[in-house]
């Protein structure tokens, strides 16, 4: 497994798993039992270069936060949730009068 190899040879000190956990809460078990060999977390993008360059990082942060909120509410993650819906939610939240 690449993560074990990277840790063993000193290439990295730690392997971050936050993104995979947000969309696949049982990722650790799947990696350990061998049912999953590779975990990819593609970037959350609208496909519009200008938008993605300006707010891509924030868009991704907001998208993963939504996934964690779903999990915290006892609901399953929505890996297919669109970047456009996420952008709309960001804009809606930005115009709310009450923000905490």
Asked if residues 68 and 22 have their Cβ atoms less than 8 Å apart, the reply is yes
| pLDDT at site 1 | 67
User: How many helices and strands (H and E) does the chain possess?
Assistant: 5, 0
Q: Where are the domains of the chain?
A: 1-41, 43-100
| pLDDT at site 59 | 95
| pLDDT at site 99 | 56
pLDDT along the chain (100 residues), means of 10: 82 86 91 86 93 93 94 94 94 71
Provide the 8-state DSSP code for 66: H
Residue 62, number of CB atoms within 10 A of its CB: 17
| pLDDT at site 42 | 85
| pLDDT at site 85 | 95
């Amino acid at each position: 497994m690449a993560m074990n190899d990277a840790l063993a040879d000193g290439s990295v000190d730690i392997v971050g798993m936050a993104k995979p956990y947000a969309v696949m809460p049982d990722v650790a078990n799947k990696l350990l039992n061998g049912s999953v060999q590779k975990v990819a977390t593609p970037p959350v993008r609208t496909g519009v270069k200008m938008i993605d360059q300006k707010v891509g990082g924030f868009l991704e942060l907001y998208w993963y936060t939504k996934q964690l909120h779903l999990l915290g509410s006892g609901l399953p993650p929505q890996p297919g949730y669109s970047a456009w819906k996420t952008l709309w939610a960001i804009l809606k939240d930005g115009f709310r009068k009450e923000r905490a």
